[in-house]
Amino acid sequence: MKLPTKIFSKFPVSGLGAYKHIVLFGVLCLFIVLLQAQIQPKQLRKEVLQSQLPPVKHEGKAKKTKKNRILYNTKPIAQVVDPLKDKNAKLIYLENTETLSFDQLLLPDVQVLKGNVRFRHDNALLYCDSAYFYKNDNSLDAFGNVRIVQGDTLFVYGDLLYYNGNTKLARMRYNVRMVNRNTVLTTDSLNYDRQANLAYYYTGGKIVDSLNVLTSVWGQYSPNTNQALFRKKVHLINKNFILDSDTLKYNTKTNIANIVGATHILYNKETDIYSNRGWYNTATERMMLLDRSLIKQKDGKTMVGDTIFYDKKAKFAEGFKWVVLNDTVQKATLLGNYVNYNEITEKGMATDSAVLVDWSGKDTMYVHADTLYTFKDSIYDVARGFYHVRLYRNDVQGLCDSLTYSARDSILNMNGEPVLWTDNNQLSGEIIKAFTKNKKVDHIKILGAAMAVQQQDSIYYNQLSGKEIIAYLDSGELKKVDVNGNAETIYYPIDDKDSTIVGINKTQSSFVFMYIKNKKVQRIVMTSATTGNMYPLTQLSGDELYLKNFFWLENQRPLKSEDIFLTFPKTKRTRTTGSSGSESPTGLKSTPKDEKTNQIRGKRKGLK
């Protein structure tokens, strides 16, 4: 980053000296702190994956290491081999004992050793109180205060040892303890394969490192790689969480637990995590969870996804591919192929086939947009959608370019060429505000180029326009429409006897009040200063049948929840002339999204 020279312009160059570097370092530190303070979408995934990359190796000839072989719960049987005839065998040497005795009758070919016994085999020293030394077989049995010292970092303690020098297999029994730097393994029976550098237990054991305590019925530990494998009743205890699993891999150096089986993590009695595959860095408290893992919060929120990256310290999670963020308290669900959620700010975001489902009322509402947000405004819930917004509920449907709903005032604000449909009515304007009461739409206010259209039949439409329109609903059915300012109407009155259209009524007034019953216009009330005429149906045609801002977008109307994923080309909303020469309203042909979106739509059918 190149810093502006103005930062140092107030100081003479000759007087800067060492202070120039200090100021420059301080500015850089401030820039880094501000940069790190912002959590960007998909940033957590990048950081977590990069932390798992192996360190860069220095150039030079790399040493070949043997791959550790997994030892299972089988009692090893050592074949008796003459060490003098085996070129690869290393002899066991007796270095110290206070007494040495033989009893060829009771213990043939056995040296009985007592007092400060010490053996050396390869690079390991073996200590005990007493021992049977089978020199011909290159093996020994050690008793009392048994200790194996290998190098300066590995120590194994126990009460009883069966050791075979040909196979380098040490079978330690009773009060067994293996210490490798900061890692301590305790068990009652431990088999340690010094050749493979693998230790395993099968009657229950415990491994303790600087952060965690792990217990299981069966376990394997490699002092060389610090990698451990646990099976059956695996239990990990950390100061912040408890982990239970059937199978778990764990590295005592990196403190990373690899989830390879059904696992449950309980974090501070506030967060439950369920996963069958993934990994958890217990040092940084960051994790990657795969295969539809579940994060469940105490406040009723849950997240499920194909892949979830979760930073428990930052309390931030982001999921990828068919992610479901559910709030059982507010009865709302946020879905998408990318979803993130901040537990501290209670802010959620969804994109890529994003959907917000509100199932708090009798009817479920589905809202789709390019990007959806949910967050808290003080104690009130707020939802926002941006670009290509489409919504569906049984009693109301709509579309716009941006949408905001706040529980503070229970108002749904629609901007950017908004359109709402209720029954056979279409409402449009520059801004639409839908006021809800008891989870239902109570009335709708339309501001700027306000227009209300009701389809009379396939040709004729009742129309209202003005500066402001207020539409009142009852149980989802339109009952009354008020037009305030520059009110214009086109109305087709119907004969009550035979339900035929009488004519065309066109009016202009300051205010108009339209009353609707059984989805039909019942009567219209206008101010005294009103101009208008009644025309026969055959007298008017073409543009005379429609108000200035008239359009009809019935074909863009979502008729079911899956229709919120339909897209339409952005064009000017006008009428076109049909092939017969008669004027007819037009919509725009819908074009489904790509194949991937269609698959998402199919999955969402289960939400209905």
Tens digit of each residue's pLDDT (9 = 90 or more) over 311-361 = 999 999 999 999 999 999 989 999 999 999 999 999 999 999 999 999 988
Percentage, residues of the chain above pLDDT 90: 60
Contact 127, 146 (CB under 8 A): yes
pLDDT of residue 6: 38
Question: Side chain identity at 172, as an amino acid letter?
Answer: M
334 CB neighbour count, 10 Å cutoff: 26
pTM of the complete model beyond 0.95: no
Q: What is the mean pLDDT of the chain?
A: 84
Closest C-alpha to 422, from 461, 400, 454 = 454
Residue 39, pLDDT > 90, answer no
Residue 108, pLDDT > 90, answer no
Q: What is the number of residues in the chain?
A: 608
How many Cα atoms within 13 Å fall on the side-chain side of residue 557? 22
pLDDT of residue 496: 79
pLDDT of residue 105: 78
Burial of 431 (0-12, 13-18, 19+ CB in 10 A): middle
171: tokens are: 């079978």
Contact 436, 411 (CB under 8 A): yes
Name the DSSP letter for residue 545.
Answer: G
Report pLDDT digits (tens) over 352-380.
999 999 998 888 999 999 999 999 888 88
Backbone angles phi, psi at 159, to 5 degrees: -95, -25
Cα separations in angstroms, 228 against 181, 231, 349, 607: 15, 10, 38, 42
364: tokens are: 């479920």
Cα separations in angstroms, 167 against 70, 76, 385, 586: 16, 10, 68, 87
Closest C-alpha to 147, from 127, 167, 174 = 127
Report pLDDT digits (tens) over 191-200.
999 999 999 9
Contact 266, 245 (CB under 8 A): no
Backbone angles phi, psi at 129, to 5 degrees: -80, -40
How many Cα atoms within 13 Å fall on the side-chain side of residue 455? 15
pLDDT of residue 362: 84
Name the DSSP letter for residue 209.
Answer: -
Residue 281, pLDDT > 50, answer yes
Backbone angles phi, psi at 558, to 5 degrees: -70, 125
Residue 33, pLDDT > 80, answer no
Closest C-alpha to 194, from 71, 314, 359 = 71
pLDDT of residue 585: 52
Cα separations in angstroms, 367 against 340, 391, 409, 476, 562: 18, 4, 19, 18, 10
The radius of gyration of the chain from alpha carbons, rounded to an integer in Å, stands at 39
Question: Side chain identity at 497, as an amino acid letter?
Answer: K
Report pLDDT digits (tens) over 555-573.
999 999 999 999 998 888 8
Give the residue with greater pLDDT, 106 vs 35: 106
pLDDT of residue 75: 41
Confidence of residue 19 (pLDDT cuts 50, 70, 90): very low
Confidence of residue 31 (pLDDT cuts 50, 70, 90): very low
Domains and CATH numbers, the chain: 92-166 (no CATH), 428-608 (2.60.450)
